[in-house]
């Protein structure tokens, strides 16, 4: 009996020691895994931020290029307007087009529009019956006979 009590206390101590050691080691392991996870998240966020900055710079550069081209187009347009008001000339093909229009308008005024007389049919209708409409009225009287 004297040996049984120390052995029982030894077994109880081993069991308690096992659970205490397990708790301590898992807490240290979880701290390490939490720190590793935080480190991974920070690295990923840093990469995403760098990628975001790169895309933003590209967008800003493209906007600047578009603004420069728009500014150049606006200046060219203003230059054309100033030149047009100074010279009072028609730009590009205006002289040829105005001569062409003058010649064609005189030709159109001479020709008068012909009116369609009531006796003539339009081109899309045949003068005589043709196709499905040729025939007698016997087909239309058939339903009347059934009544």
Q: Structure pTM?
A: 0.37
Tens of pLDDT along 46-65? 999 999 999 999 999 999 99
Residue that wins the pLDDT comparison between 68 and 101? 68
Q: What is the 3-state secondary structure (H, E, C) of the chain?
A: CCCHHHHHHHHHHHHHHHHHHHHHHHHHHHHHHHHHHHHHHHHHHHHHHHHHHHHHHHHHHHHHHHHHHHHHHHHHHHHHHHHHHHHCCCCCCHHHHHHHHHHHHHHHHHCCCCCCCCCCCCCCCCCCCCHHHCCCCHHHHHHHHHC
Which of 2-6, 9-13, 34-38, 67-71 is the most confident on average?
67-71
What pLDDT is attached to residue 91? Answer: 57
């Amino acid at each position: 009996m004297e040996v049984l009590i120390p052995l029982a206390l030894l077994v109880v101590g081993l069991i308690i020691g096992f659970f205490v050691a397990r708790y301590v080691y898992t807490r240290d392991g979880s701290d390490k895994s939490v720190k590793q996870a935080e480190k991974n998240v920070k690295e990923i966020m840093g990469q995403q931020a760098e990628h975001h900055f790169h895309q933003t710079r590209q967008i800003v550069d493209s906007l600047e290029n578009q603004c420069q081209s728009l500014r150049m187009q606006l200046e060219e347009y203003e230059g054309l307007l100033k030149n047009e008001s100074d010279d009072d000339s028609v730009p590009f093909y205006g002289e040829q087009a105005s001569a062409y229009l003058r010649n064609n308008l005189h030709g159109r005024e001479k020709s008068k529009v012909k009116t369609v007389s009531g006796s003539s049919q339009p081109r899309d209708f045949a003068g005589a019956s043709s196709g499905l409409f040729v025939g007698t009225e016997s087909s239309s009287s058939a339903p009347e006979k059934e009544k």
